[in-house]
Structure formats: C-alpha cells, structure tokens
Structure 1
Amino acid sequence: MQTRREFIKTAGAGLAVTTVPDFFNISATMTQHHVAVQLYTLRDDLEKDFNGTLKRLAALGIKNVETAFWPKTVSVETAAAALKAHGFKVTSSHADIPTKENIQKLADAAKAYGTNRLIWHGWPEDKRYSSLEGTKELAKIYNESSKLAKDHGLRFGLHNHWWEYRNHVGGKLVYEVLNEELESDIFFETDVYWVKVAGHNPADILKKLKNRVQLIHIKDGPAVFNEKLIKDEPDPMSPVGQGALDVPSIIEACSDKVEWLVIELDKSAIDVYEALKQSKQYLSKFKSVSLT
C-alpha cells in the first residue's frame, strides 16, 4: 500500500441496521447529496492495472469520481479518456496549489476531466499552520490562487487533514482563522474523518461552517490521533457506517450547499472494493443521498 507521500511523489509532485432511525427519513424534498469516490482510494490498483481498476469500480455502480494524481505512466489525456469510456463523471480534482506557473496546466486538466472544481489536497502539513502569522500568510496565498482559478473558469477549494482542527494559533484553531480570512468563494471540502481525529464532532463543525462546505470526504474507522499519522501511516479504515463516526448526524448537518459526499479510504481494513460496495449501500439508505 503506497503512502500519500509516496503516491504524490510517484505521480509527479455491521453494514445493515436493524431499525431505521429518523436520520434516514430526511424529506426527499431536501437538496440531494450525491455520492462519489476519491480515486486515491485505489492508487495501488491503478498503478498495477489502470483500466482494469476503473472497470471494477464501474461494476460496483459507482458513477462519480474525484481525481487525485495518476501513475507516472498515465497522462491526464489518457486518464480523462478512460474515465469517460467507463462512464464516470468527474466531480472535482485534487491538485497542487494554483500558481502563475502551473495554472494553465491545471486548467487544461480540469477541462479534460469536465470539471471546474480544483481542490488543494493539503498534504503534507505546512509548518506555517503553527502560527497565526503563518496561517494568515497561507490564507493570502489561497486567496491569490482562487483569483487565478477564477480567471481560468475554475472554482478553488481546500481539503483538510487533522492539523487545521488541532493546531491553535492566536487563540483560535487554524480552520477558524482560515474561515475568517479566506474570500467567500473559496469552498471547503471537509474531511469529517480528520475532524473527528482532531477531537471534534464533525456535525458541529459542519453547522458552524455552514455554506463554506460544498463537498465532504466521508470515511469511517477508529478516528483517533496517534503519532504514526505524521508518517502517513493511518489506521485501517472501515466501510462508511461501521466505524467511530456518527454518519447520520453528519449527513443531517450538511447544508444545502453540500453537493457531494466523496467516499475515501486511505487504507482499508477489508478488501477495498468490498469496502466501497458496503459504503455505497449504507449511504443509499439516506433519503437525502443520491447515488447518481
């Protein structure tokens, strides 16, 4: 299993419930949250058998994906064509921070995928998140990156890990400073697992951030902090609904702005395709969740 650091470097930079609680009976008139899969989940398989992996994923009934980085032997053009051939819609793309030097390349990739959402994946931790001054400096960079993205027809967002919800700077948590300093059109893709790892109730965070959150990384598992995380060695994760996260409360806390629930397993405790299948089946029980 490749670590996140190795993957980025290589790339070039119980299921059923016995009763149905009220959480599952959300009115069908509410905004639908659609399901996608972050392809980082299948990084090892994509490295070994690119098209075979996409075929297996499509066979699970998955229709939407979020891209990360591809094996170095696979170009963006090849990947985009393969995704289209297997019937996938690209919801968003994880990428590096937009700069004047790379923005055209990022825009071309987004166009090939057919998405306008560009998300800074956020790995590894930037040490500037250890101070208020550094955090504000990063917020300024993100605001500049968002303007570059907008100038190229893209929308820019941020994906979190645990440190944004664990590091205190200037009497506040990093995510609070970012929420205050960032331009309103920069969206969050909130990874609820890492929020839980940092010691928070994800539902409370989603309610606090309100419309800033437009996508969620939905994953499950033990969700406890340990020093191995710093080395990118997370605990094995479980199918959604079988770990420590209160998924019903998370989904109930989603605002109408949350369009996508993106399933991700950094490391799977069981066969990864079975974990994706069970996660999809679990999420299908919520009336506010659409698999299309």
Structure 2
Amino acid sequence: MLSSPAVNLWTIRDALAADRRAALRRLADLGYRGIEPFEALDDPAGLRATAEDLGLAICSAHSHRFFGADRDAALEAVATLGAGLAIVGTGLPDDAFTGRAALARTADSLNALAGRAAGYGLRIGYHNYWAEFASRIDGRHALEVLADLVDPEIFFEIDCYWAALGGADVPAVVERLGERVPALHLKDGPVTEGAPHVALGRGAMPTARILAAAQAGALHIVEMHTSEGDVFAELAESRAYLESAAARR
C-alpha cells in the first residue's frame, strides 16, 4: 500500500484523544495514505488494525523510549505496527551534538540501537530538531558530520522546518544527504521560534525546492505542532499543495 503523503499523528493529537477512529477516518477522507505514530508504544496492535481498516498505511513510527529499559518493548511495538522504519526523535543527551567527542558517543548509541533493531526487522532513523543544524563542527552542520559517523543503514528523517530554524539551507542539505533521507517532515510557517505552523505553501519554507531536492520516493510526512486554525482544514490545504507540486514535477 502506498503511504505518502502521510501525517505525523502529533498534528491531530487532540482529535485522536477524543475519538481515534473518527480522527483517522478524517485523514483518509482528505486523501492521506499514511500515518506516522508519535509514540509506537501507544496501543500498536489496535492502531494498526484501525488504520488498515480505513485504508491507511503506517509508514514509520517514532518512540521516545528507544534508549533505556523500554528499548526492546519500543522496537517490538514498531514491528507490531508493521512500519519497518523506527525513528529516534528524543532520548539522547542534551549535549549530543556539541562537539566531535559528543557526536562519537551519539553515533555509538545509534549504531548499537540499529544493531538491536535489525533483529526485529527494523531500520533506525534519526529525526532532527534545530540544535543539530545550529551546532557546527569545522564549518559543517553537526547532523551532517553525524551522518559520516553512523552505520550507512541508519537514515535521516529530515524535519525541514526545524532544520531551517537551525540555520540550514534545507534543499542543499537534503540534496547532499541524498538516499540517506527516505522521509521528510514537512511543516510551514514564518520560520520563527514559537510561531504557529500553517498549511504547506502559505509560509516562508521553500517546500517546492525541498521536494525537488529529495530522492524519488521519499516519504512526505506533514506535521504541525501548533495551528491557529482548524488543523484538518490546514491538512486539507497541505494535501492539495503536495498534489499540485507532484503534478508540476
């Protein structure tokens, strides 16, 4: 089943909490094909059953608990979801990107996790925020230095908005990393810390250039942390933008 475009479920967390099936049905009705859970351990079997019943694929899954006592439970949850791609978004030390020594420790942690994940049939990916790009080592973004240190099977889910907030030329980063970026988190807005997000195409993000720079087949995952409007209306507009962008390529 095709799983792009997709929505990271943090975007509709309030609607999910109120009525999960109804919220997911609205995404399917908007034409989204996939979803990305923000915490794999939250009822993976139930979520997968509901998603499949509605014709939605689970393209990938985040967990905040890949490091520590819950590691294997989190990996098993991603496997239960049927996602194949397990995404690290949090759980690393605060100084994980502050210098070469810290990056070496970060790479060791991710490599060890990737080795464990392989036993569950999973690949490990890393999702950035802004610090990974704001921090520079010998003139390079720390995240790009990390890419040289981790095992090549580890991939990157580039959150384009956070990367821009960290000072990155996002299309250039996506192009340089190439096939290491099989998934994009797409947000839009004024690229100002704390500002609410808007539908794709309505903010300052160079989304069209990012999409053109990405590898063919990369997952397009829409995410909004905050919105001043109706989040489903914003998602509908974002879906239309992606459809139009695809038609132009």
Cα offset, 1:99, TM superposition: 4.9
Match of 2:210 in 1: 250
Alignment of 1:122-271 (within 5 A): 122=90, 126-169=94-137, 172-224=140-192, 226=193, 234-256=194-216, 258-271=217-230
| Separation (CA, whole Å) in 2 of partners of 1:186 and 1:110 | 16
| Identity of matched residues, % | 27
Q: TM-score, normalised by structure 1?
A: 0.78
Corresponding residue SS for 2:58? strand
Task: Indicate the larger mover: 258-267 or 105-114.
Answer: 105-114
**Where does residue 275 of structure 1 map in the other structure?**
234
Q: Structure 1 residues 142 and 187 mapped into 2: Cα distance closer, same or farther (>3 Å)?
A: same
Alpha-carbon distance in structure 2 between the residues aligned to 1:47 and 1:184: 37
CA deviations 1:175-224 (Å, max 9, x no partner) are: 12201101100000001111111122211111111221110001100112
1:42 counterpart = 2:2: no
* Structure 2 SS opposite 1:34: coil
- 8 Å CA contact 1:99–1:148 kept in 2: the answer is no
Higher RCO (CA-CA < 8 Å; seq separation 6+): 1
Larger radius of gyration: 1
Whether 1:109 and 2:77 are equivalent positions in the alignment is yes
Find the aligned partners of 1:195 and 1:171 in 2 and give their Cα distance: 16
Q: TM-score, normalised by structure 2?
A: 0.90
Shift of residue 136, structure 1, vs aligned partner: 1.3
Counterparts of 1:78 and 1:289, CA distance in 2:
38
Q: CA RMSD in A?
A: 2.5
The answer (yes or no) to whether the contact 1:103–1:148 under 8 Å persists in 2 is no
Q: Deviations 1:155-179 (Å, cap 9, x if unpaired)?
A: 1100000000001345543112201
**What's the counterpart of residue 4 of structure 1?**
none
Aligned counterparts of 1:60 and 1:37: Cα–Cα separation in 2: 11
Letter of the 2:119 partner, please give it.
Answer: D
Q: CA deviation at 1:112?
A: 2.4
One-letter amino acid of the counterpart of residue 284, structure 1: E
Equivalenced residue count is 248
Unaligned runs of 5+ in 2: none
Which moves more between the two structures, 214-223 or 32-41?
32-41
Partner of 1:286: helix, strand, or coil?
Answer: helix
What runs of 5+ residues in structure 1 fail to find an aligned partner? 1-31, 227-233
Q: Aligned letter for 1:274? A: A
Q: Is the CA contact (8 Å cut-off) linking 1:33 and 1:289 kept in structure 2?
A: no
CA, structure 1 residues 123+143, in 2 after alignment: closer, same or farther (shift >3 Å)? closer
Structure 1 residues 38-47 or 272-281, which shifts more?
A: 38-47
Work out the CA distance in 2 between the residues paired with 1:171 and 1:109.
39
Q: CA deviation at 1:269?
A: 2.8
SS in 2 for 1:129: coil
The aligned counterpart of 1:52 is 22
